[in-house]
Structure 1
Amino acid sequence: MRKMLCFIIVAVMGFQMGLVSYAQGITVEIDKNAVKFDVEPVIEDGRVLVPFRRVFEELGLSVEWDGSLDIASAYDEGTSLSIKASSRYGSVNGELLELETAAKIVDGRMLVPLRFISEAFGNEVVWDGDKRLVSITSGFKEISKTDELPAVGSREKLMAILEYSQRLSRFYTQFRDDISIEKGLEESFEPEAGDTEPPDYSETNIQVEGVDEADIVKTDGEYIYQIRNNNISVVRADGGKLSLESEIEGKDGFKASEMYLSGETLAVIGVSSRPEFRMMDQDVKESIWPYPGSALKMEVYDISDKSSPKQVRSVEIDGRYVTSRLIEGKLYMVANKNMNVLYREGEFDYRPSIYDSIEGRPIEIPYDEIRYFPDSVMSSYLITIGIDLENLDKRADIDAYLGSGQNVYASRENMYVAETRYEYDYELDESGNSEVYYPVYKVNTDIFKFRLDGGDIDYVTKGKVAGTVLNQFSMDEHGGEFRIATTSGEIWRTDERTSKNNIYVLDRSMDVIGKLEGIAPTEKIYSARFIGDRAYMVTFRQVDPFYVIDLSDSENPEILGYLKIPGYSDYLHPYDESHIIGFGKETVQTKGGFTVEGMKIGIFDVSDVESPVQSHAISIGERGTDSEMLRNHKALMFSSQKGIMAFPLTEMRKADEGWSQFYYQGAYVYAVDVEKGFDLIGKASHLSREDYEKAGSYWYESDKNVKRIIYIGDNIYTISSSAIHSHDMNDMSFEGKIEFEK
């Protein structure tokens, strides 16, 4: 239930009384009590206008006046509405409302049409023309949830939507310390069923079985495909024999970032650099400066002939790449596009542009096809793109929404896009001579649910939970329900707004049906993983609590057990149903808090869910030791079938004087067994002895840094931008290499 207003229908307001009339004698009653105004209601073009502040304060709402934008707003816990002077549009809970009469300022007060009040709360207002009486009755009204999104419709409406939404964000973008209220206007580890044997080569480390993720290296078990220095190399791998079959040379203005391999098709995703000049009005008083722009671009290659790949399609979207997934030959991408709206005069086209080679020309998404989320509007676009790589003659499914996306989780059927949202309120400070309201805010996460079907992406509904989400592994879908782990509050605070951690379960309609809040106060989530009916979560401040959470009863999640140990895990990887491997850092407690040391890998045994233990652990290096896999799970090669894991690492060790200095960069390959723990099979570097001698105490990014490790059969391949080396899996002995020209 939201607090709303219920208006009684008695008569029609729209009678004609002349263009403008200062309507002396008009009475406004709220709950049968007459309201006194310091500025009287007026009638304009046959429509009654009443003072905004007085009416909504009488109805129990808080009222704000933003003099810089000429916008009056009223809100309570469940309702927010705004209207701008001289505008034909108002905003009700973020949804634009077109009015027949614009609001206006009279004697320093904002007057708004009665229809705005009635439409804001879903019912009619009483106007008794004979008695010249407006009657309003307060009460409660249920708001029914709808998943139908309104369309932007036109450039004029887009600018109005964004202007109202900017009011919500100005506190954070302009660092305002306070606002004076107006006194006048000056003031899963769930393998798929089946008998299919896994391929005898490594695949990209992904989150969900059957949902592929893009990376810089792919293999089909015979060839290795690698993005390196903007070129794409196709290398035949036959044990220790490596040969370059072909190379797709990088193009000017396009930088390849990652790719997918789907049968005989290679889809390369990257950034197309181009300046953005789209201002059309030459008489602009204050124009938007042209700036270097960039676009998301995908190039598709037919690689059936490995010696001669052929580009067969390209798609370019005016936006910034967020992420993507590949499911059974269907590619789904997400992009954001900032609009840089400065509210200047001039006709600037803010619509995202699209170029698809099968269309042969650039097009812009029509305004009536752009949708927006009424209670989550941003001055940017969230763009979804679906492409069928098995039918390249089919048009791409491209949709645009006013919004943004930060973290994405995808199952085989649905995609969930999470975005942090700041909801602001005010706290009253009456310590001075005037009332000053300071902005305060709480941080929530909006989750937009999309259905994935045959290369099409369709919006379904949205949900909301408290706090922020760390990454894709803090989200999951299981049995049709969506689970998410969040951190709310601030870790540096010691009052009631200190950090806390939460688990939420949402149903198919994205309504919260279960929650577990307030986990590990003063700490924040460093890693999470959902596996079947359980969630595993690592929080940290000075020690590493590892939590086991039961989700078998969706409506009543509960903590089964936890373990406190030094250090923390940045990434949790499932080994089997009873063992989780944590990858992170060692920490040492000090008087002032803690110091971060070398890399730490541990096996958590959750056979006894009430008393989880760390059964095995190893530490690598000293302070400064780092691996990309701590931030990017795709840098980990892991096979429980072969009992091995490998990752790239830059190892630092302490020198005589106590400071850490560079020791090694390369691939670290381990045998993994839940009974025996970890056993280092070997290491492999692409750096020469001379490179190590030149490095001294520090080592920086280099083309010789090993970035990925894969296996094909019984061979391990270590991959850098300069070379691919082949090794025997049993002992990491060197077998052969191919070096690339710079």
Structure 2
Amino acid sequence: MAAKPALKLVAFDSCAQLEKELRAAAKKYGGGPAAVDDLRAVPEAARGAGVPAEKSYSGTNVHEAGADEPDIVKTDGRRIVTVTGGVLKVVDAATRTQTGRLDLGIEAFGEPKLLLSGDHALVLGDGGPSYLKDAARIQRPFRGRSEVLLVDLSGTPRLLSRYRGDGSLVDARQTGSVARVVLSSTPQIDAWLPTWEITTGSDRATGRLDCSQVHKPETFTGAAMLRVLTFDLNANSLSDGSPVAMVADGDAVYATPASLYIANNQGMAFRRFDGAGRDTEIYRFTLPPAGKPAYVASGKVPGTLLNQYSMSEWDGHLRVATTDPDTQSSAVRVLRETSGKLTEVGAATGLGKGERIYSVRFIGARGYVVTFRQTDPLYSLDLADPAKPRVTGELKINGYSAHLQPVGENRLVGIGQEATAEGRPLGTQVSLFDVSDPASPRRLDQHVVANAFSEAEADPHAVLWWPATSLLVIPVSDVRADGPLALHVSGDQLRQESRIAMAGPVRRSLVIGDVLWSLSDSGMLASRLSTLDRIAWVATR
């Protein structure tokens, strides 16, 4: 007899059962409206309506090739599409002029982001931060609604279709022209199930999630609900997204072209209610080339994740790096899918005792983990044998790396902060590591900008790595200037090419042909890629 999978998803028998169990979970763990007993029942009849070829332009810096991630700027090599302040703008790369502008009328909270396919852009607006689960987390509005907008770029930008749905935007991934958008919602005063509306031209359609399509883990610790929506960017209008729904929360999304993982640091969120340990639940979905994902497995690991880079699928296994806040140490665990369950088959534990994880990078059969409190141990791990993952080397230096970027064979760049021996940050630090010897990782070179901060420390999308010329560009801000910092990785050295001055904080950099483009909220600077000399400034308004 096959083993019974933990956290197996099963359908609810009825809408009444769904409401009853959500009420009980909300009372026990929180996460639902305060006036739980005053909520109206859900009516029984309620129903919802591989490695790419080398290009002459750069894409978004993403975790996995073939799984694009939303960002504030995208390019197809001909045009640059940005969204700032709820306004979509198009710049023609050849003429270096702004050729289009569209006020999107977004009501959602937070900074909108983009995905791009052909002549269409998909704009994602977040419904707001989530319910207060921990003292350090922000509270979402009860009525937060996320938005998905389909925009035609073939001429003057025009809005084709808009989807507004209850809940917050967790994240999204795109493979080919198909985007999967993950939303998280919590019960509202007037309804337990999330609703949506779709506007296309003068047509407007509304719907509510069909309770018979809501699935649940065998146990769950709250009333939050995840929905995975599927949209084809090549279509001329948006649908309801063919939602795949489950009673669970989600904080981090990781994907390959074939798999989508949603992780929930649920133990951290609800510890104060029941004293439970701090664990992370992980749900895996398979991604067909078109159509909605299919749930296939789930599991749980001790500790909490830093971000999506804490997960990596390789050779039929999922590697997960977590920190246990109680023991103040970290581990890398290897999971394998068996009968609907993600089961641990091996673990390397005891990393960075008294510290927490600041960055993770998995590359094939090897892994790299940075922990920090006062010094920065960079751990090198051998993951070739899933049953026996092991630490092979350790490098201790001052400061820390908040992001690890591969920059060629056996080379990593760490982007973070230099620090004193006591752990006090001193400024942006870029480190070049040689990881050719698993037993002895070395720092070859270091570049520090005193009293500075880079958005790349918090958001890897702000990193530009252009292998054709071994150019690394990150935004840097300090008391003297804002602008991109350009470094060449030359042998064992980081050679500074320029600190390009710009008006206002720079957000992103990208390459099209022989031009380096740098984006700020007020415009885009075009510089010659070979010399970084200024070519043109394109004001976006």
Give the TM bin, normalised by the shorter chain. 0.7 to 0.9
What one-letter code is carried by the residue in structure 1 that aligns with 2:438? V
How many angstroms does 1:268 deviate by? 1.0
Deviations 1:544-590 (A, max 9, x none): 11111011000110111111111111000111231111111111024
1:612 maps onto 2:441 in alignment: yes
1:212 maps onto 2:68 in alignment: yes
Match of 1:82 in 2: none
Match of 1:251 in 2: 105
Deviations 1:101-136 (A, max 9, x none): xxxxxxxxxxxxxxxxxxxxxxxxxxxxxxxxxxxx
Cα 1:424/1:614, change in 2 over 3 Å? closer
What one-letter code is carried by the residue in structure 1 that aligns with 2:487? Y
Q: Is the 8 A contact 1:424 1:439 kept in 2?
A: no
Output the CA distance in 2 between the equivalents of 1:200 and 1:403.
42
How many angstroms does 1:354 deviate by? 2.1
Q: Is the 8 A contact 1:422 1:442 kept in 2?
A: yes
Deviations 1:602-642 (A, max 9, x none): 111111111111111111112xx111110100011111222
Q: Is the 8 A contact 1:168 1:424 kept in 2?
A: no
Task: State how 1:236-385 maps to structure 2 within 5 Å.
Answer: 236-238=92-94, 241-251=95-105, 253=107, 257-271=112-126, 293-305=143-155, 308-339=156-187, 348-357=190-199, 360-385=204-229
Task: State how 1:672-711 maps to structure 2 within 5 Å.
Answer: 672-673=489-490, 675-687=491-503, 704-711=504-511
Match of 1:15 in 2: none
Runs of 4+ in 1 over 6 A off after TM superposition: 423-426
Match of 2:283 in 1: 448
Q: Is the 8 A contact 2:163 2:238 kept in 1?
A: no
Cα 1:211/1:566, change in 2 over 3 Å? same
SS at match of 1:212: coil
Identity %: 26
Deviations 1:345-382 (A, max 9, x none): xxx32111122347841110121111111222421111
Match of 1:7 in 2: none
How many angstroms does 1:340 deviate by? 5.4
Cα RMSD for the two superposed structures: 2.7
Residue of structure 2 aligned with 1:164, choices 24, 32, 37:
24
TM-score (norm: length of structure 1)? 0.64
SS at match of 1:736: strand
What one-letter code is carried by the residue in structure 2 that aligns with 1:683? R
What one-letter code is carried by the residue in structure 2 that aligns with 1:158? L
Output the CA distance in 2 between the equivalents of 1:197 and 1:329.
17
Residue of structure 2 aligned with 1:727, choices 501, 505, 527:
527
How many angstroms does 1:523 deviate by? 1.3
Match of 1:516 in 2: 348
Q: Is the 8 A contact 1:424 1:440 kept in 2?
A: no
Deviations 1:509-530 (A, max 9, x none): 3111111222222111110011
TM-score (norm: length of structure 2)? 0.87
Output the CA distance in 2 between the equivalents of 1:665 and 1:146.
50
SS at match of 2:286: strand
How many angstroms does 1:150 deviate by? 2.5
Output the CA distance in 1 between the equivalents of 2:500 and 2:268.
50
Match of 1:415 in 2: 260
Output the CA distance in 2 between the equivalents of 1:735 and 1:143.
64
SS at match of 1:680: strand
Q: Is the 8 A contact 1:397 1:457 kept in 2?
A: no
Higher RCO (Cα < 8 Å, 6 or more apart): 2
Task: State how 1:433-582 maps to structure 2 within 5 Å.
Answer: 440-453=275-288, 454-490=290-326, 498-509=327-338, 510-582=342-414
Match of 1:587 in 2: 419
Q: Is the 8 A contact 1:470 1:525 kept in 2?
A: yes
Residue correspondences, number: 504
Output the CA distance in 1 between the equivalents of 2:270 and 2:11.
28
Residue of structure 2 aligned with 1:221, choices 59, 69, 77:
77
Cα 1:489/1:149, change in 2 over 3 Å? same
Output the CA distance in 2 between the equivalents of 1:551 and 1:257.
37
Q: Is the 8 A contact 1:332 1:455 kept in 2?
A: no
Output the CA distance in 2 between the equivalents of 1:355 and 1:629.
36
Q: Is the 8 A contact 2:198 2:238 kept in 1?
A: no
